[in-house]
């Protein structure tokens, strides 16, 4: 059985605390801490990705209350997407697929693509959303959804989203 080390970098610790503040709806404190985490001395692709996930969630939740929130959400989606290949490489090196790996860590969560695709869809920018979904499939992220679908019997995923977007694009 392989042992995985779950070392907590300063960046990871700030990300985790930021997540807790976010869940407690202490948005101002969460934002400050998460932005500070991006400047951590021990910055690395894995922790940075999860900081981005929390910033994306934070700003999207505030999109109706803050005039800059949706723009900032889009910004961090794009930042994360730009770095996904490096993140995925590092993640797979640190957590290679194996039977003793916790199920929730078998495939990394990459909500930046899905969130940005949803934003593009709401803005009727269907081709941009389709292109993002295709990129996710190229990166191998569809397997995350295949696992989810098999487990919960749903029809989610980037392939299903592309079909939905193609229909919407034809109607527009």
The pLDDT tens digits for 30-62 are: 999 999 999 999 999 999 999 999 999 999 999
- The whole domain housing 31 covers 10-99
Tally of domains within the chain: 2
Choose one of 56, 74, 99: the last residue of a domain: 99
When the pLDDT of each residue in the chain is averaged and rounded to a whole number, the result is 86
Same domain, 82 and 32: yes
Report the percent of the chain where pLDDT is more than 70. 82
CB 81 within 8 A of CB 130: no
Same domain, 37 and 79: yes
Same domain, 38 and 115: no
Closest CA to 72 of 21, 27, 40: 27
Choose one of 51, 74, 99: the last residue of a domain: 99
Closest CA to 91 of 112, 104, 108: 108
Closest CA to 16 of 6, 5, 3, 2: 6
Q: In this structure, is the dihedral angle defined by the CA atoms of residues 38, 43, 46 and 47, taken in order, positive or negative?
A: negative
Same domain, 16 and 65: yes
Same domain, 41 and 115: no
Q: In this structure, is the dihedral angle defined by the CA atoms of residues 14, 20, 23 and 27, taken in order, positive or negative?
A: negative
For residue 132, the model assigns a pLDDT of 95
pLDDT beyond 60 at 1: no
For residue 23, the model assigns a pLDDT of 97
Confidence of residue 160 (pLDDT cuts 50, 70, 90): confident
φ and ψ of 107, to 5 deg:
-135, 140
pLDDT beyond 50 at 142: yes
More confident residue, 147 or 169: 169
């Amino acid at each position: 059985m392989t042992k995985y080390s779950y070392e907590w970098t300063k960046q990871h610790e700030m990300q985790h605390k930021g997540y807790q503040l976010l869940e407690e709806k202490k948005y101002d404190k969460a934002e400050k801490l998460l932005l500070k985490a991006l400047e951590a001395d021990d910055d690395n692709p894995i922790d940075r990705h999860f900081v981005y996930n929390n910033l994306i969630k934070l700003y999207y939740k505030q999109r109706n209350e803050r005039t800059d929130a949706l723009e900032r959400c889009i910004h961090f989606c794009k930042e994360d997407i730009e770095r996904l290949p490096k993140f995925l490489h590092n993640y797979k090196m640190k957590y290679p697929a194996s039977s003793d790996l916790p199920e929730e860590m078998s495939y990394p969560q990459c909500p930046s693509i899905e969130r940005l695709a949803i934003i593009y869809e709401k803005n009727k920018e269907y081709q941009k959303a389709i292109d993002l979904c295709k990129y996710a499939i190229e990166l191998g992220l569809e397997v995350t959804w295949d696992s989810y679908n098999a487990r919960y019997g749903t029809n989610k995923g980037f392939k299903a989203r592309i079909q939905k977007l193609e229909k919407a694009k034809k109607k527009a």
